Amino acid sequence: MKKFFHYAKRIGPWIMAALIFAYLFHLYPPSKVFKALSYVNLWAFSAFAIGYFVFIYIVDSWVTTRVISDFSHKVSFKDIVYARGFTYLIMILNYPASQAAFAYYLKRRYKIPIFQALGVFFFIVFIDLMWIITLAFAGSFFQDYTIGGVDLGRTVKIFSICAYAFLILWLVFWRRWIPLNFKFIERQRKRKAFHIFEQAKVFDYIKVAVMRIPIHFTIIISMYVVLKTFNVSIPFTRILGNVPLVFFLGTLPITPGGLGTTNAAMVELLYRHVSGPIFASGAVTPQEMLFAATLLWMFANYLLKVITGTILLRRVSTQMFEPTPEEPEEKIEHEAAHLGGNI
C-alpha cells in the first residue's frame, strides 16, 4: 500500500494535468489552436523566449549563489550555473528530484551537507511564494471577477491576509521573539532542512526578496510581450492585475509545474481584455488565441530547458548528481520543497 501511494503521488498530478488539457482541447479544438498559432511572428517570439529564458536562468543562478554563499559555503557562480542548467532536465519531470540532484552536486563539489542545501532551496521557494501572494494581493484590487460563484478578488485577499499572518508567526517562531519551550516545537527547529531559518534574520528575508524582484517582474510582463508577437494586444494594467493571480492559482499543487491550471486561468482571466484585427474575421476567438499562446510559451520554455541541460551534460559529470550512499534519493526527495515546481 505504501508503494502504491508513492507512485500515485508521482503519477496523480500528471493524470490531472492530462485531464485538464483534454478538457481545454475539447473547448478549443486543435484545428483552431493551430490556426491561432499561424498568427505568431516566430522570429520575434523566439528572440523574446530565448532572452527571457537566459535572463531568468542567470538571475536565478546568481541569487542561488549569493544565498548559498551567505548561509553555507562560498560557491562559484559558474558551478551553480552548470548545476542549475543540468538539473533543468530532471526538473521537467520531477521537481523534488531536481532539488535532490542539485543537493548531491553541492555535497560532492563543496562538501555542503545535503539538508543544508535543501534548506537554502526551501528558503528561496518560501520567498518566491510570498512574492506571488503579494503580487496576487495587489492584483486582486483590480479584479472584479467570479468563477463558479466565488469572488476571486475577495478570496485572494482573504488568503493573502492569512498568509501574512502566517509569515509573522513564522518569524516569531524562528527568531524566538516569544520563548516557547515545547518538545514538539524544538523538534521542528532541529530539523536539518530548516536550519537556514534558524540563521536568517528579517533583513535576510528582505535582501533575498529584493534580489528576486527582477525575476518576478519579468515573469509578469512576459505575457504582454508574448501576445504582441501574435499581433494582438492587451492593456498593460490588465496584465499587472491578472497575471499574478494566474500564477497564484498555478502554485496550487494540483498538477506538476501548474501545467493546465495556469493555461486555463490565463484564458479565463484575460480573454475579455485581448483585442486585435484578427478577431474581426471570426477565424479564431480570444480564448483560442490565448490558449495557443500559453501552449507555445510553455513549449518554448521546456524546450530551452532540455537544450540547456543537454549541452551541459558534456560539461559536468553526471556522477556528481547521483545519490550518496548515506542519503538515499527517496529520503531527500521527501524532504525537498515540492511546491517549488509550481512556483
* Phi–psi pair at 147, nearest 5 degrees: -120, 120
Tell whether 88 is covered by a domain: yes
Tell whether 18 is covered by a domain: no
Tell whether 20 is covered by a domain: no
Tell whether 70 is covered by a domain: yes
Residue 74: is its pLDDT beyond 60?
yes
Of 85 and 181, more confident: 85
Instruction: Transcribe 148-178 into DSSP letters.
Output: TTEEHHHHHHHHHHHHHHHHHHHHHHHHTSS
Tell whether 9 is covered by a domain: no
**This prediction's pTM:** 0.89
Q: Decide: 281 and 35 in contact? Cβ < 8 Å.
A: no
Residue 207 — very low, low, confident or very high, per pLDDT cuts 50/70/90? very high
3-state secondary structure of 233: strand
pLDDT (tens digit per residue) in 257-299:
788 899 998 998 899 889 988 888 888 999 999 999 999 999 9
Tell whether 286 is covered by a domain: yes
Of 251 and 49, more confident: 49
Beta bridge pairs of residue 327: 324
Domain that holds residue 261: 30-341
Q: How crowded is residue 140: how many other Cβ atoms within 10 Å of its Cβ?
A: 25
Tell whether 11 is covered by a domain: no
Section 108-122 average pLDDT: 89
Q: What is the 3-state secondary structure (H, E, C) of 90-133?
A: HHCCCHHHHHHHHHHHHHHHHCCCHHHHHHHHHHHHHHHHHHHH
Tell whether 201 is covered by a domain: yes
Contacts (Cβ under 8 Å, ≥6 apart) of 120: 64, 67, 68, 71, 72, 196
Q: Where are the alpha helices (DSSP H) in the chain?
A: 2-27, 30-37, 42-71, 77-91, 95-110, 114-140, 152-175, 183-189, 195-199, 202-211, 213-229, 236-250, 261-270, 286-312, 329-335
Number of structural domains in the chain: 1
